[in-house]
Amino acid sequence: MTTTDAALESFDAVDLIRTKRDRGELTTDEINWLVDAYTREFVGNEQMAAMAMAILLNGMSRREIRDLTLAMIASGETMDFSTLGKTTVDKHSTGGVGDKITLPLMPLVASFGVAVPQLSGRGLGHTGGTLDKLESIPGWRADLSNDEMFSILRDVGGVICAAGAGLAPADKRLYALRDITGTVEAIPLIASSIMSKKIAEGTSALVLDVKFGSGAFMQDYAKAEELARTMVSLGQDAGVKTSALLTNMSVPLGLAIGNANEVRESVEVLAGGGPADIVELTVALAREMLTLAGQPDADVEAALSDGRAMDTWRRSIIAQGGDPDAALPVARETHTVPAPADGILVRQDALPFGIAAWRLGAGRARAQDPVLHASGVDLHAKPGDVVRAGQPLFTLSADDAARFPRALEAIEGAWELAAPGTAFTPEPLVRDRIQ
């Protein structure tokens, strides 16, 4: 970049960094220029890293966050589902341990005649990725062309696939930068990152599952609530019907943590069974999505029990090249930890169990790392359950037994048995709703 080229730019990145460093507000024009210049690589990573840190420390106003979101949307393409002839509704979860809710939720909601374009991602660290889970199914494809996605939405009603590279490319650059500069937790950047992609996706309604607790991205409840309110405001300002549920991620969701084992558990839910907490959250989110889609009286429990949701699941898997009847991967090695005494399980911290599954190979430390679909953790008891000495508490699975020691190290001290007869009151799974 020559001095002459730089002189043609509308603003200077250093001036904007100083403004935010000194707790000032950036104008709409300044934000638009900053995002465009970063996308063009005129603004370098080191300058955007300084800006991200200034935003983390000093925050942004609602107007600035809206402008940042709209600028990131404008950096790429947008999608339009108006030709489908169906109401579209999507769900986004901030992620957690054992969070396989998208798998039963998409076919459940789609079975009511609405379109569910569920553009999903891959896992990183202790939080699992929806696409990684589904790729346990032989033949299933995450990468679809727009024509394929629209065809499946018309024929099946729902699709779970990878987002195209053209949606909010500025966010993709900034997301990677935040991960290596200690600025992941900046609420304005989280909110604009999530909502720029969801708004660009073109859905007419959106439900956010914002998690708090030890296994959540945003562990503190007050911070999770602030994030939820910020994202709901962004959606509503953009004309997208948006609401959020604040849900507890102190304990792993369900009994399976991994990939193939989470698919098995999801199929159990679609067959009318499955763990109570997975069913509860799936039903709660389905009701919320269908309410925003204009069907507040939909009987979602009936769609689980009468097979409609399962039928939609099978059709969606087949449409994306998968075999819903194929055997899922099974690990070569297992290690089971038994209860040391009679008692009541009163604590089961989500984060350490997520880390254990990651160390077994169910997750990745870097975006390019492979995922081992058969690896993971299966829980045999949940907080509040009475257990007997010698009864299995949880089982680790991996193809290589050498992975077990570090996984066990992660879980050490993460669970607790109390004496028989100890009173136990579970925390509610859904704490609040924001609209």
**CA-closest candidate to residue 412, choices 435, 432, 396, 429:** 396
Instruction: Identify whether 297 is a catalytic site residue.
Output: no
Q: Is-catalytic flag, 380?
A: no
Q: What whole-number distance in Å separates Cα of residue 424 and Cα of residue 396?
A: 26
- Residue among 40, 1, 36, 34 at smallest CA distance from 16: 34
Catalytic residue among 178, 241, 364, 373: 178
Report helix, strand or coil for 304. Answer: helix
Between CA 372 and CA 361 the distance in angstroms is: 5
Active-site residue among 197, 198, 314, 315? 197
Per the annotation, the verdict on 193 as an active-site residue is: yes
What is the rounded distance in angstroms from the CA atom of residue 137 to the CA atom of residue 303?
A: 23
40 bridge partner residues = none
Half-sphere exposure of 292 (CA within 13 A, CB side): 29
Asked if 373 is an active-site residue, the reply is: no
321-to-60, 82, 102, 135, 143 alpha-carbon distances in Å = 44, 26, 19, 11, 11
CA distance 347 to 349: 6
Of the candidates 365, 323, 385, the one whose C-alpha atom is nearest the C-alpha of residue 137 is 323
Catalytic option among 193, 204, 250, 316: 193
Longest dimension (CA), the chain: 78
- Indicate which residue of 67, 90, 171, 209 is catalytic: 171
Q: Which of 20, 86, 92, 364 is catalytic?
A: 92
In whole angstroms, how far apart are CA 192 and each of 63, 69, 197, 239, 312? 12, 5, 8, 15, 32
Q: CA–CA separation, 110 vs 93, rounded Å?
A: 18
Catalytic annotation present for 241: no
Q: Which residues are catalytic?
A: 92, 171, 178, 193, 197
